[in-house]
Chains A and B, each alone.
Chain A
């Protein structure tokens, strides 16, 4: 342990690498537009374009008008043609900009993935000591490693691939992935054994068992994710695409069948005008921005240091009905402190404190240390060193026994732990816990504290000595957070190992909707299944191997980066900061993604009204002068009207790129409130804005010579 502390570098705040990872909420740098232009042009390839039916129609239209403009060149035909091409390019630009930001991140990651070599230990088996004499070692390229290989990594070395530490303990610099410069401890066994390829060992030496094939490591997946290479359309995106394609077909029919009606009315329309009408009517705004919205949504997660393994998971996050939150670290600060010793009848305060201190000596948890501190502060008991107690054997805390303690020579045993576990221990030792003990335990629990019962067994008879009260501090502001979640229709369930009473008190203080006390992994699993049977979507965080089944079962399972590879494999997201509170942010990002799509779809469809009023009178007012009454914007001339509508249509795409990347503003509130707000802004805005925009553009366009 001491070596690690000695070598741990000073926390120097945020390094440049970290700063790159934490770019603020997705603002658009104008430079990015310029930088992404070549990519946008490359996407004009019809095979690429075909994936987006709306924009494909625009591109086909642009090709047709180009032919028409070449055949019979007029200023009008060329202006329309140019703006149609610009419409397509702008749409590609939106996607390219969204992807471009991921590419920059991928480049940073690739640098960490430089060609490394590995020191493979072909003969090493778990349990063997690693010395140069006992184990032969061979140097192989990292790409040659296979699942199950063992490699040795020493201070200064780069871990060649994802794996679990099977021998040793080391401090590891994971800033390449998390952007966090403070090193983390990785040790064999337990829930802190996972290491990631590309990270650097700072101290000590460890043996790592490789758990992923080359090319499928965490960094590889991360690169693929941020680049959008593995991006698949999510269900909602597919459904929206279907609707947009349907609308496009309807408008295509409306425009194609308009020509025979126009010919009958002695108002035959040119191809350019018909294409312009079609492009104005089909939902180009949302069609152009749809994929950028999806990429940007994933990107917003990455910026919060969350890696979603699929877009589907992000969408599911928006749909979540139930959040399972671990109490410790999420709802409470996590370091429960001993605040009071409550001795049993016939036991002095000193006796209890002494026994409590004894039982806590080997307890390295914050709770354990706080007991030693309290004993010293309140009663002046000096902390005994481990070496002082000759012949003592310490019993470590396990999730099964839920007790820790010490066995002293001469049959004197001291235990402290969860009330029910210690009570069992007393009974097993022939004693009978007093009723008064139960009431003390309940009183502590009811007050939101955690009672630890201290007991001893001397000469074969066991008795309770008293209770230690631990207090858990609920995080500031968490209550308001839960109220917001409730308004969003999300139920929060607190998961804790505490007993019913303690859990109830904290649940009440934190304002969660429900809690699961004395939770075992099986309980968690059962809770998730129950919720899902009722049609609810469940999100949870977890880090331990025993969380893995629950993480896999949950609709959104966020694994902590500090967790085991099993947990990371089971979840569909990984939080690099290992901050369980982030689950709430993930839900918000998921919602924001859907809202952005819905808002821009509404905007796009609402735009049509103004475009109709611009283009229809322009097409037919010459034969039916009465139709000029529909020219409510009093646009200058038929050609200027159509041109203005098309220019507006193209410009609105560029204007909305920042919004698509940033996502529309989301404040947690009820569905009705959200709908009202978004309908006002994007529905009414979509109705009114184009009237103003087209009129303004018309005021300029009418001065183009040749465009009457």
Chain B
């Protein structure tokens, strides 16, 4: 089978699998967040934390729930790492340094999973299992519940209530993330992913050398790593490591997992707002960007510009031979478009323009399809901006899903689209202006700029993948990137929940022939235009000095 055929086959299989899961999972998602019935175990949890599950909250109360939960998560995770040496299953690793522990705690609580550490040489099994993996569930659930609150803002009318955070969070974990993770952890074990609590295994290789092979509870963490668009690998090599991702089949399963919730959420959205076409329209925008990105990266990676590339049939540097170009690019495009940030190849070694696309993918704001929940709320904010401009062009006060886009909504949407670029640009600008931080760059010239740009783009957008080639385990980078991750996660959530409250308080406006339809191809292409003109172009100067300067000859 030729490489191209393999590529088509894998992409085709992936799309089919997503299509099959789309309806049942989307409908199930909508059901989870609309049903009045509580499970018995959920009752137990509500009683334990002292929550009345049938009392809805105002957006500000909901937000306080999100922030309190996340703050506790950060503190807990920080303490866990700092006290590692006194805990069981530490494998003898010492406490994680303060700056790195802060960075890691912020990283996992924000669904970023940026790793300035190397998993197998820093974290013991207990921290991995009870600390990091727990956050993989919690942070993914937070993203989902925030978008659910936003959807409720659209469908509710003249109310202050947007739902109950604790109920939504519990259900997202118990009814969605846990069951799917358990099933796929078993599937991955069947596929060859390791799972044990053994210590490192010293072996003598055939050549007579000594090697230490670290095991661990990998598969159980791998499933939620992808499913929750987290991306923090058990091993430093992440999904390029044969114990995390042994073969093309597990590779495809992992790509499927990291896409499936974000994709199916569009169905849940359409179902909840009572017009499935609205969900399809958003999905169409995501799909176009995803396909373009996969095609773009594939094109640049299979280019044979150098002798080595020509011999290998593409830019194989930094890629696993067991995956080859197609499985690597499929993974790369999906992971950078979903805020997952798991990698199965070294992004630093991508061709300049291929690497530029991965940065661009993240710059779009993780919307195609984006992180669990965060992808959907990101694209809905852009839809609001699009509706505003398009709505004016049809001569009415703009409306989206029967809600008017008034100054307050516009203010929150503008703050949202302003936040991430501000973090990326200021972060990159400051880092590159500081002589000491410049020194962390391993490659001079435009590639070095790309490395810093990648780091800040990845953290501000809560992606978490790394271009590498940048020594980020310094106090400055650990601190700066940690702060960027926290702001990049929670400021947008503040705007989104405020928007949910503002929309919920509005009265429904009935649709008429004068209302702009937001499910037609015309609107879909305009939304794409806004994504490119309003979001992507902001970064054009930075891209020009990094990937474009390197890639254009």
User: What residues of chain A have their CB less than 8 Å away from a CB belonging to chain B?
Assistant: 235-236, 238-240, 242-243, 245-247, 249-251, 253-265, 267, 277, 315, 318-319, 321, 486-491, 534-536, 590-592, 594-595, 597-599, 601-602, 605-606, 608-609, 612, 616, 619-620, 623-624, 626-627, 629-630, 666, 670-672, 674-676, 678-679, 682-683
Contact = CB atoms under 8 A, between A and B. Distances in A.
B426 interface: yes
Contacts of A254: 421, 425, 538-539, 541-542
Nearest to B438: A264
Interface in B506-526: 507-510, 512-517, 520, 522-523, 526
Contact of B414 (A242, A487, A490, A535): A242
Q: Which 7 interchain pairs have the tightest Cβ spacing?
A: A489-B514, A598-B392, A591-B395, A257-B429, A246-B414, A489-B512, A626-B552
B87 interface: no
Contacts of B262: none
Contact of B397 (A235, A265, A678): A235
B520 A246 contact: no
Given A253-B426, A261-B545, A535-B509, 17 more contacts: A246-B414, A254-B425, A257-B425, A257-B542, A261-B449, A267-B545, A277-B541, A486-B513, A490-B512, A591-B396, A598-B394, A601-B392, A606-B533, A616-B544, A624-B548, A626-B551, A670-B513
Contact of A627 (B411, B517, B552): B552
Nearest to B445: A265
A267 B446 CA distance: 12
B421 A250 contact: yes
A285 B279 CA distance: 34
29 contacts: A239-B388, A239-B410, A243-B385, A253-B422, A254-B538, A257-B429, A265-B446, A267-B545, A277-B541, A321-B514, A488-B513, A489-B515, A536-B510, A594-B392, A594-B395, A598-B393, A608-B537, A609-B537, A612-B537, A612-B540, A624-B545, A627-B549, A630-B552, A671-B394, A671-B513, A671-B514, A671-B516, A674-B393, A683-B529
B396, B432, B433, B542: which has the most chain A beta carbons within 10 Å?
A: B396
Q: Which of A486, A594, A612 has the most CB of B within 10 A?
A: A594
Interface string B489-509: 000000000000000000111
B430 interface: yes
Contacts of B551: 626
Interface of B: 385, 388-398, 402, 405-407, 409-411, 413-415, 417-418, 421-422, 425-426, 428-430, 432-433, 438, 445-446, 448-449, 507-510, 512-517, 520, 522-523, 526, 529, 533-534, 537-542, 544-545, 548-549, 551-553
A250 B538 contact: yes
Nearest to A318: B395
A671 to B, nearest CB: 4
Contacts of A627: 544, 548-549, 552
A262 B449 CA distance: 10
A260 B429 contact: yes
A375 to B, nearest CB: 48
A interface: dominant SS: helix
Given A238-B407, A239-B405, A630-B552, A488 B414 contact: no
Contacts of B389: 243, 598, 601-602, 605
Nearest to B411: A242
Contacts of A595: 392-395
Given A239-B407, A612-B540, A675 B392 contact: no
A676 B521 CA distance: 11
Contact of A616 (B395, B398, B540): B540
B436 to A, nearest CB: 14
A235 B552 contact: no
A247 B534 contact: yes
A96 to B, nearest CB: 24
A242 B405 CA distance: 12
Contacts of A259: 429
Contact of A672 (B398, B414, B517, B541): B517
A630 B540 CA distance: 11
A243 B533 contact: no
B515 to A, nearest CB: 6
A592 B392 CA distance: 9
Contacts of A265: 445-446, 449, 545, 549
B162 to A, nearest CB: 20
Most chain A beta-carbon contacts within 10 A, residue among B410, B417, B510: B410
Nearest to A258: B541
Contacts of B405: 239
Nearest to B523: A675
A319 B397 contact: yes
A507 B411 CA distance: 44
A256 B402 CA distance: 39
Nearest to A612: B540
A490 B512 CA distance: 8
Contacts of B413: 243
Contacts of B542: 254, 257-258, 261
Given A258-B542, A595-B394, A535 B548 contact: no
B549 to A, nearest CB: 4
Nearest to B540: A612
A624 B515 contact: no
Contacts of A608: 533, 537
Contacts, number: 215
B388 A253 contact: no
Contacts of A606: 533
Contact of B417 (A246, A598, A599, A630): A246
B410 A535 contact: no
A620 B544 contact: yes
A119 to B, nearest CB: 49
A614 to B, nearest CB: 12
Nearest to B402: A535
Nearest to A671: B394
Contacts of A601: 389, 392
B410 A318 contact: no
A534 B158 CA distance: 12
Given A239-B406, A488-B514, A592 B395 contact: yes
A315 to B, nearest CB: 7
A243 B410 CA distance: 7
A242 B410 contact: yes
Given A238-B407, A239-B407, A319 B396 contact: yes
A682 B537 CA distance: 19
B365 to A, nearest CB: 12
B313 to A, nearest CB: 25
B537 to A, nearest CB: 6
A368 to B, nearest CB: 41
Given A535-B507, A602-B389, A672-B522, A251 B397 contact: no
Given A246-B418, A605-B533, A624 B520 contact: no
Nearest to A263: B433
Given A242-B411, A630-B552, A315 B397 contact: yes
A262 B545 contact: yes
Contacts of A597: 392
B140 to A, nearest CB: 29
A490 B549 CA distance: 54
A243 B414 contact: yes
Contacts of B392: 236, 240, 594-595, 597-599, 601
Contacts of B541: 254-255, 258, 261, 277, 616, 619
Contacts of B385: 243
A626 B549 contact: yes
A235 B406 contact: yes
Contacts of A535: 402, 507-510
B264 to A, nearest CB: 29
A598 B390 contact: yes
A675 B513 CA distance: 12
A665 to B, nearest CB: 12
Contacts of A602: 389, 393
A628 to B, nearest CB: 8
